[in-house]
Copies of this chain bind each other. A is one copy, B any other.
Amino acid sequence: MEGLTAEAASLAGHLRLGRLIVMYDDNEISIEGSTDLSFTEDVNARFEAYGWHVQDISGHDHDAIAAAIENAKSETGKPSIIVCHTQIGKGSPNKEGSASAHGEPLGTDEVLETKKALGWPEDQTFVVPNAVREYWESVQKKWADEKASWNELMEEYRKKNSRKAKELDRILAGDLPKSFRKAVAEFETGKSVASRSSGGEVLNMLNEVLPELIGGSADLAPSTKTVIRNEDFIGPGHFEGKNIHFGVREHAMGGVANGLALHGGFLPFCATFMVFADYMRPTMRLAAIMKQRVIFYFTHDSIFVGEDGPTHQPVEHLASMRIIPNLRVMRPCDANEVAEALCLAAERKEGPTVLALTRQNLPTLDRSTGEIAEIKNARKGAYILKEAPAGKPDMILVASGSEVHTALEAYDKLVAMGKQPRVVSMLCMKLFEEQSDGYKRKVFPKRVKKRVAVEASLDPHWQKYVGDKGLVIGMDDFGISAPKEKLAEEFGFTSDGVIAKIKEAGMLD
């Protein structure tokens, strides 16, 4: 019934995933009662419409199950579904076929009655009949033999192709080539480039050294800029590409990316507009729980999407993703932070990473003069991007992504007013929280109480960084449809707007 299943089944049918076999336990019972209460569609016809191989059997007929699995295996051009008609709680004299057999344990008495009805030993628990035990022992033997001969084959391959074999081991272990960062060229300063575009460039650079990279977009690739050039697209019956057309199926896209990560041997990414992250939220949560390396790649990361208006303008999304445990959210401020963020995401074995990238252009900061911090500092999540002129700040401006540039402009104006501001770039709150207390205090010294956060979003996380005497310049409602320059003015995300709010808060006194 879940829409996620519909998306995944449609995609599997399209791609002709001949190796996929789904056993559908059609027991006609849901928690509220008979599935007829809410679900009377023709499931078999629906899966045929998706292009699946459909079989319909009794799920209590063991020979029929075995035969159906063999049929499904021999159908290699389509995914297979085996619709198994069953009675839930089969054998239970009082609960068979009822909703209570789904939601509740049978209970001691009914378990006894069921054993009696099934002719099962009544006085034993965890019984494994001898026939089953013998069958599994024979299977173990067979598979041990198969494994041994496969290992032999692999050893031979290893001898003849040691470089490739090592690469395979590396990929399956989820490790990266030691010098993989060298593949990522530094971006030239003086140019203005949207972080969605620099992100696409970095994906392509990483692809040169990471054969495990694979991914795609939910029908937005021309906008998310995530196509890996010179690589094929995976298509129906054709699986040798590195790009995937997911279709307008965000939820299934997240599920597929999780599946690729769980399988091992892949570094999957999946892309859409940030506002649509809501459609795939359960998959981000699961990736975080399962500690899987998945890159959730979201462009159009703020109200500065512009004319599309509130339905397409993320406002609460940064906060709602930052709040998921073990999910790192990275919002880079320029092309070189984008590169760093993607490298960190690739290096991270313990969980998923969100990239938050802009639609609009951002200047690439000149980090060569010493005024702006070197990019390696970004690896600590947050860092002093630009120190107060005299080295001892009396105010901290902390920002992320596109608003870092607003903060830098405000910095200049504050300096002209005789102030000593510091600009901190907050690439990733969770990564920053992992740093030593000493480092955290260095970035946010206790004595500096005048702290201002600037981010075109609605996020209570900032409160902690600015403190009771600080100021958060963010959103407090949905966006509106307008060109991005007008929005910046309207919502105060210009350097003049920032200065005005700082003044209003009494921080210039």
Contact = CB atoms under 8 A, between A and B. Distances in A.
B49 A49 contact: yes
B251 A3 contact: yes
Given A46-B50, A222-B31, A459 B310 contact: no
A477 B316 CA distance: 21
Nearest to A281: B278
B316 A289 contact: no
A31 B219 CA distance: 6
A2 B7 contact: yes
Contacts of A221: 31-32
Contacts of A288: 478
A14 B40 contact: yes
A219 B14 contact: no
A5 B249 CA distance: 11
Contacts of A282: 278-279
A493 interface: no
Contact of A41 (B10, B220, B286, B464): B10
A4 B252 CA distance: 12
A477 to B, nearest CB: 5
Given A13-B41, A289-B310, A1 B476 contact: no
A211 interface: no
B468 A223 contact: no
A315 interface: yes
Interface residues of A, number: 77
A93 interface: no
Nearest to A44: B49
Interface string A4-20: 11110011011000000
B219 A30 contact: yes
Interface string A316-327: 100110011110
Nearest to A38: B247
A501 to B, nearest CB: 17
A463 interface: yes
Contacts of A236: 40
A3 B253 CA distance: 11
Nearest to A250: B2
Contacts of A251: 3
A458 interface: yes
A117 interface: no
Interface string A45-83: 110111100000000000000000000000000000000
A103 interface: yes
A107 B424 CA distance: 43
Interface in A278-295: 278-279, 281-282, 285-286, 288-289
B38 A245 contact: yes
B458 A460 contact: no
A166 interface: no
A42 interface: yes
A3 B1 contact: no
Contact of A6 (B6, B38, B42, B324): B6
Interface string A469-507: 000000011100000000000000000000000000000
A24 interface: no
A8 to B, nearest CB: 9
A289 B481 CA distance: 13
Contacts of A285: 278, 316
Contacts of A42: 48-51
15 contacts: A1-B248, A2-B279, A3-B251, A14-B40, A30-B219, A37-B247, A38-B219, A38-B249, A39-B247, A43-B49, A49-B49, A103-B223, A289-B311, A319-B323, A320-B324
Given A30-B248, A32-B217, A325-B477, 8 more contacts: A1-B219, A6-B7, A14-B40, A30-B247, A35-B247, A38-B245, A38-B249, A42-B50
- Name the 8 nearest CB pairs between A and B, nearest first: A3-B3, A38-B247, A6-B6, A45-B49, A46-B49, A1-B248, A38-B245, A320-B320
